[in-house]
Structure formats: C-alpha cells, structure tokens
Structure 1
Amino acid sequence: MSTDPLPLLWLHGPPGVGASSVGWEVFSRLGRDGVTTAFADGDRLGLCYPVPDGDTLPLRARALAALWPNLRAAGARGVVMSGVLDGREELDLYAKLLPDAQLMPCRLRVPPEVLRARYLSWGWRPDLAEAAVADALADDDDLGGTCLDLGELGVTEAARLVCEQAVTWDASPADPPAAHWPGASPATEPIIWFSGPTAVGRSTVTRGVFSQLVLPGVPVAYVDVKQLCAVRPAPADPRPLVARNLATLWECYRDAGARVLMVSGGPDSDQDVAAYLAYLPEATPMVFRLHASREALAERVEARGRGTGPKEPGDELHGLDADSLAAVAARAAAEAARMEQADMGDIRIETTGRSVYQTVVEIIQRLSD
C-alpha cells in the first residue's frame, strides 16, 4: 500500500452553500471517469452521543483518521469530504491525526440571494433568514487552499468547476490494488441494523430511533452504510469494505463511550448478514426489516424524486423522470417481495399506512422487550 500523501479535498462553506451535494457529484464524476475516489460527509462522522467533552470536532477527526487506512487499502487516489470547517484549529487537528494526508481546503461561495432562497426553502422563519445570511457571509476565515465562487451554477456545473480548479491529484484511471485490510478490534456489542427495500425509509427510521435513544441519554452511535462504502468505482463485492469500516468506526465510537450502534442500510438477505459476520466474527447483529406495500413504495419513490423529505447527499432518485421513477418503484417492490418470501431478518416491521413516528415507537418498544 502506497505511503505517498493521500489528498483530502475538503469542500466547506456556510450551510446552504451546497458543499454536500457538490462534493457527492465531484466524487461520482471522478468515479465515473475511473479514478478510484472516496467520499466522506463530515456531518455524518462522529454521530455519537453523549458527545465526548461536549465537542464533536475531535471525534469527527478521529473517526476519519480511523477509516483512512481502509480507504487507502481500497485504492483511493483521493478523498472528497464535505462539511463545515470550523477554523484553523480544526484544520490543524486533521493535519496532526492524518500525517499522510495532503489537506486541500476548498471554500465554496454563492451569492446572498441564493443562500437566502435556500434557507427559506428549508422552512426557516422568514424573519431569521436575513440574520442567517449575514452570519454566513461574515464567516469567511482565510484557511488557505482554493476559493470558488459558484454563482448560480447547478450541482453538475459546480462539480465540473471544482474538478477543474481544485482536483490537483492524478485523475487518470488506474487498476485498483488488491485490498490488504488493516486490523481492527472486533465489535462485541450487539449491532441494531435496519434493512429493507429501496425507498422504504431506512435512514429516516434509523435517525428517528437514534434520536429517541439520545433523548434519555443512552450512549448510542449512528452509521449509514452508504457512507461506509463510499468508494467509486465501487468494489465488485462491497461487503468486506463495509464490514472493515463498520468495525473500525464502532471501535472508535466505543472508545468514546457508545454502547449501542444503529446502522442504516446494509444486509439485503440473510446471506449478506453471514458475509458481513465473516469480517465481524464477534458481532451479534439484530436485523430489523422494514416492509411496505407496492403502493406505499411507489408513493415514497415518487416523493424522493420530487425532492421532498430530508436531503441526502447522493440521493440517486432526486430529479429522475417519471419513467425512471416507475422503474425504481418496480425494483423496490421486487426487493420487498424477495425479502418477504425469504422472511429475511430477525424482526419484521410493517410501515405501510404508518407515520415515521409510529414506526419508531414500535421499534423502541421492541427494543425494550
């Protein structure tokens, strides 16, 4: 495995600047071009409560540093990360914990009217929008690296500009190396894993359960499998990378005090569970399978296509045309039928005709039994 510095392109700026969406598109664009690239959403690292010492920034940095050898082993030529960069002190912390990384901060800017429109589209109180825009424009520390004015560019064009101006590593395709996974202590505590077909609401439900456990002070961590295998071109079998990253992050979060791990996405069959356990020999996952009817799945696919609900980096349904969404809905229904026939998972949760809150309440009750 190479010991040359691995570039970390950190797209940052105020909320609403589009760093997550643009970062995912940069990552996807490089992957489509055959350049093995990893993606990390800074806002999704360090989701562990109670927060150690009340500060998520050190844990977020430690989490990325723990994953770094795995990303190298997967053949990454560079890592794209999005998220707020909280000043020089945080940048120095990453430099300390990632001595073999080439830190490349890239500040993104958009006009005030674009920020204002995005804030208002989120349902923020109109009277707070102006103050939020003013705060965002005032937060303009010079952290070096590249600064790009995106103007009113869409995500695709903004990503093209970032690739042209900020991606300075070798962007030519290369044969992926054979992965030699670094060691990680096995996770021995139970893992609560949420599975189900496309668009059933795994991420939304998992976050809901996570938040309900956080409120009474349960020491809990949250991981989304999509973030665990954000390497493109994707490995032929992503399960080894997912399992290694999961074990690595869980060790990091356990050291921070977490005793419950919530995982969104992942095993699509009991055979998948067995494949993950080959790399997590001490783990004892409890798999909740979320189910929905064909009609409910079609409604949720269509809603995702319209962009309603939480905005997720890399949501591949957003913006699809009607025919493409219908094809996704048909695939989701087939996935649900296959899982149903196989009676996949440990506990089946019906979500048809139920709110997310009702589903979360049932799961909390099941966990309490």
Structure 2
Amino acid sequence: MTDETPAVWWLTGPPCAGGSVTAWELFSSALAGRPRAFVDVDQLGMCYPAPEDDDARASLKARATAVVARHHLDAGAGLVVVSGVLDDGADALVREALGEVPVLFCRLRAEEGALRSRLEQRYGGDDLGRALADARRWDASDLPAVDTTAVPVEEVARRVVDLLDGQPPQLADGPAAPVEQDDDGGADARGGGRALLLCGAPGVGTSTAGFGLAVRSWQRGETCAYLDGRQLSFTAAPDTVSLDARGTADLVGRLWRTYRAAGAEALVVRADVSTADDVEAFRDALAGAPLRVARLRAGEEALRERVAARARGEGANLAGDALRGLDEAAQRRAVAAALERQAQLEQAGAGDVVVDTDGLDPGDVVAQLEALDARRPRGA
C-alpha cells in the first residue's frame, strides 16, 4: 500500500506490547511528511453501561472509530493511525464499519519474559495471569506482527511502516455499511439526551473533572459517553496540524449520534474553545441535545502547581500532553500562556456557568459540576 491510498492502519495486540506508544510514534515522527491522523480507541469506548448485546463495546468502538477515520480522511488525511486492543472477531467488525475504507492490521508482541515485566507494573494477581493468557492467544493470531522485545520505539515504528506499506488493502467481505449508519445511527439517535461541555485554560483541570463527572453518571447507572476533544483532533493533514473548534465540534456531533444509537442518555465532552462562535459550533453539532457549557477557572498559583504536577508525570498519561516533562523555564511559559488563554475566555464570556477551582481538589470540582448539572431546567 502506498501513502497515496487513503487508509487506516490499526495497531493491536495484548496490553503492554507497545501499541499506543508505537502508534503515537508513527503519527508524531515516523510518518512525518505524509498527511495523517491519530486516534486511540480507548478514547472512543468510554460509554457505560455497555449495551446488553455489545457488553465488550467491540461493535460500538468499531463504529466510533469508523466515524473518526472518515472524518479525518475527508479533511485531507491520507492515513489514520489507530491504536486499540481487539477482541476475538473484532477485526471483522472493524472492516464492516469502515466499509469502503481500506484497513491494515499490525500486531505488536513481546517475548513473555519482557511482557511480564511490563505487565507487572500495571497488573497483579489474577489480572496479570489473564493478561499473559491473552498475550498467548495473540501469539496464535495470523495477523502480521512486529516484535517489540528490547527494541526502541523508533525502530519498532520503522518496522511497522516497512511491513504495512507493502501490504495490499483489506476491505469488508460483504457490502459496505452505509455511511449514514455510522454517522447518524438512525433518525431516533439524532436528538434527545443532554450534553455538558467543559472548557478552560490548559492545566486548569478540565480533563480530570470531565472524566470524573462521567464516572459519577456511570455509578448512578446512567448511560453516559465521555469524549476529550483534544484526543479526537490529532491530524497533520495539508494546511492544518489539528482540527479547529468547528471541526472538533462536527466530529463530536457525529460521535454523539453513534452513542445515542447505542443507548447513551448523556454526554460529557472536554474541548478547547476560544470564542462564542466556538461554543455555538458545539451547540449546532449537538442540536437536539440541550448543551450546558461550564468553564473552569484557576488563579496563577493554582495553575503553577498543576502545571508542575503534569510536568512531573502526575495524572492521566494522555497522548500529546504538551505539559508532560517540561523543565522549570518551560513551565513558567506554559503558565503565562494559560493565564493569557484564561483572560481570552473571560473576555469572550465563554460558559453558561463558571467554576472557580482554587483550593478545590478534583472531587470537589466534580461535585460542584454535578450539582450545577442537576439544577439545569428540563430540556435546557
């Protein structure tokens, strides 16, 4: 396959085999010069409780990935790099969802001793045993593989490029699924439900609060989807390095219809907005689902502490985190930029409600947001 054929490269394999880090290396470095995009399937599967007929959410994640892939390909990407573990038979679901879009799978693996060392940092007891058993299952797969044992990620990525560039495209065996099925999920999925958009300056805590709010919904038994707009917008297509707010809003709207078709009642989305027009783009994309916009705010001292924590590697390890690993000088610049962005949001009047997070831990912020959301008028 050449770089002129729009396609999806899907990296899979057992946990800790190196799928996520290799996929990001492909997007951020190894494929430089080629119009491309990146998405981690874990970012698309956060919709719980799972449907009764799709308890592993394999079908939901396949459909959601197809929505994201088509969106980026339509925007000019020639290749969408996907990282995601596949259950047995899920590759067929992916091909069916992608339809006319070619997909190539690459399995990453590691020798059991090396894999065990990696897994022990994440799992213990029965979970470790299940993960190793899953790795043995993967080793019996006939998907083309690249070994990551004692190999630097840069070399692993190069080997993946060499392997997949020489493979013929793979399409679904049957007729392609209609695009409308993936984008809209049927007429009943186009309206209803409710949505909450979280915005704020970098480092203020929107990702932590947004995920925490979704967890509260899951604990109540409410079917809720969570999306991080930044994690959807990684693209290096011609004339752009990431989706703008309107492009992200359009993609969020398409994904919301997919989640609605799977039974979702609520959506929590964290997104970067700068102007009132950006906010309206999300309202338009989520038409039919009343949208409440909450903006988080923090003072300089709190931002300095949170940026430093992110620089030390605390918090979720998200792809493309520009704060992770910053030295002190870079942290000061990041705080200054965050304060400037916060002033811009203040001037734009972004947000139906504003939550001052100074002196609050993440749980307190989530509790305030939950209370504000509960008090919104029906249908608002």
Alignment pair present for 1:271 and 2:277: yes
User: 1:270: Cα distance to partner?
Assistant: 2.3
Q: Partner of 2:47 in structure 1?
A: 48
Of residues 295, 303, 316 in structure 2, which corresponds to 1:297?
303
C-alpha distance in 2 between matches for 1:301 and 1:160: 33
Alignment pair present for 1:285 and 2:294: no
Q: Partner of 2:160 in structure 1?
A: 162
Percent identical pairs in the alignment equals 32
Q: Partner of 1:139 in structure 2?
A: 137
Q: How does 1:220-299 map to 2 (within 5 A)?
A: 220-233=224-237, 234=240, 238-277=244-283, 279-282=285-288, 284-299=290-305
Alignment pair present for 1:202 and 2:206: yes
C-alpha distance in 1 between matches for 2:231 and 2:213: 19
CA contact (8 A) 1:228 1:241 kept: no
CA contact (8 A) 1:47 1:221 kept: yes
Alignment pair present for 1:352 and 2:358: yes
User: 1:332: Cα distance to partner?
Assistant: 1.3
- CA-atom RMSD in angstroms: 2.9
Q: Partner of 1:191 in structure 2?
A: 195
Amino acid at match of 2:37: A
CA contact (8 A) 2:47 2:264 kept: yes
Q: Partner of 2:59 in structure 1?
A: 58
1:302-353 CA-partner distances (Å, limit 9, x unpaired)? 2222222211122232233332232222211222233234442111112222
Residue 257 and residue 280 in structure 1: after superposition, are their counterparts in 2 closer, same or farther (change >3 A)?
closer
Q: Partner of 2:71 in structure 1?
A: 70
C-alpha distance in 2 between matches for 1:221 and 1:60: 12
Alignment pair present for 1:34 and 2:33: yes
User: 1:129: Cα distance to partner?
Assistant: 8.0
User: 1:43: Cα distance to partner?
Assistant: 1.4
Please state whether the residue corresponding to 1:69 is helix, strand or coil: helix
Q: Partner of 1:103 in structure 2?
A: 103
1:46-72 CA-partner distances (Å, limit 9, x unpaired)? 322221122300111122233343222
Which is further off, 46-55 or 133-142?
133-142
Q: Partner of 2:223 in structure 1?
A: 219
User: 1:205: Cα distance to partner?
Assistant: 1.0
CA contact (8 A) 1:21 1:314 kept: no
C-alpha distance in 2 between matches for 1:282 and 1:146: 44
C-alpha distance in 2 between matches for 1:205 and 1:341: 23
Alignment pair present for 1:150 and 2:148: yes
User: 1:278: Cα distance to partner?
Assistant: 5.0
Which is further off, 257-266 or 225-234?
225-234
C-alpha distance in 2 between matches for 1:296 and 1:115: 39
Q: Partner of 2:12 in structure 1?
A: 12
TM-score (norm 2): 0.82
| Unmatched runs of 5 consecutive residues or more in structure 2 | 169-178, 376-380
Amino acid at match of 1:75: G
Please state whether the residue corresponding to 1:218 is helix, strand or coil: coil
Q: How does 1:116-131 map to 2 (within 5 A)?
A: 116-122=116-122, 124-125=123-124, 131=129
Equivalent pairs counted in the alignment come to 352
CA contact (8 A) 2:311 2:323 kept: yes
